[in-house]
A and B are shown apart, each in its own frame.
Chain A
């Protein structure tokens, strides 16, 4: 599961608001607000990355436990997947 690779599923029109981001998905006309962590994940997914890769990078950047990081990253990835912003990359 940690080796699952994710990639962007849509092209967004983005505007940074401090360290957060607001974006429009033009095909659906849907607006999205990204907090700082979601913005960072979205930026990292400019190229496909595995869940483990994302988690390890966050662990090296933030003072957070492995367990909390894994749980919150999973929630974030699931949320972005449900919103069809990202998707599993073909194996």
Chain B
């Protein structure tokens, strides 16, 4: 055991063609019809409800999945054993938190982790007392694709980009492939690279279903 080994890159779970065609279509239709339900994304702040901080994150989010919620929960929980195996992260999840995110031109999310750490940390799981253990991102967008960028950058364990420059060997970039699901330990530092969407039309955005498998620590 050591506190300063050669820290590894995180293991990533990836499932291509995650949803059947009709379900992928239904979710995309729901998102495209839901523009009015999206609000500016918040980030973890000192308060209980989070804050809008455009320096850190620009995106629109919604937690309204309409009639698709239970189906999506079922699909995601069904994939959990495969994701645990792939990531080496035994989530032991008892609940699931989900969010829809829409990334238009200029959208990004600076390096962060999905849990609160340090003294006085605040657990942020789906249910009181639970915390996020395994994070997932399911990507979807219209075809032909009308945006560029928006890759998910996962940093080597223990690397803190805020503390200084990082080398190319210190991260991996994962492209947002339509109908694919990616998972990684929630405490992995990660970033959403800036999206370019010249049309500015909501329908052309990069969409994602962000999810967190949670349990009481």
Nearest CB in chain A: distance from B160 CB, A: 10
| Contact residue among A16, A24, A30 (Cβ-Cβ distance under 8 Å from B3) | A30
**A22 x B8 contact (CB < 8 A):** yes
| Contact residue among B4, B8, B121, B186 (Cβ-Cβ distance under 8 Å from A17) | B8
Most B CB within 10 A of own CB, among A32, A35, A38: A32
* B43 at the binding interface (Cβ < 8 Å): no
Interface string of B82-121 (1 = CB under 8 A from A): 0000011110000000000000000000000001111101
* A76 at the binding interface (Cβ < 8 Å): yes
**A28 x B118 contact (CB < 8 A):** yes
Please count how many residues in chain B sit with their CB below 8 Å of the partner chain's CB atoms.
Answer: 27
**Chain A residues within 8 Å of B131, by CB:** 26
**B117 x A29 contact (CB < 8 A):** yes
* B136 at the binding interface (Cβ < 8 Å): no
The 9 residue pairs across chains A and B that have the minimum distance between CB atoms: A16-B88, A29-B117, A33-B5, A38-B1, A31-B158, A24-B187, A29-B118, A15-B185, A11-B217
Pairs across A and B, CB under 8 Å, 22 listed: A13-B115, A15-B87, A16-B90, A17-B8, A20-B8, A22-B8, A24-B117, A26-B115, A26-B116, A28-B118, A28-B119, A29-B118, A29-B121, A31-B3, A31-B157, A32-B3, A33-B3, A33-B4, A38-B1, A80-B1, A83-B1, A85-B1
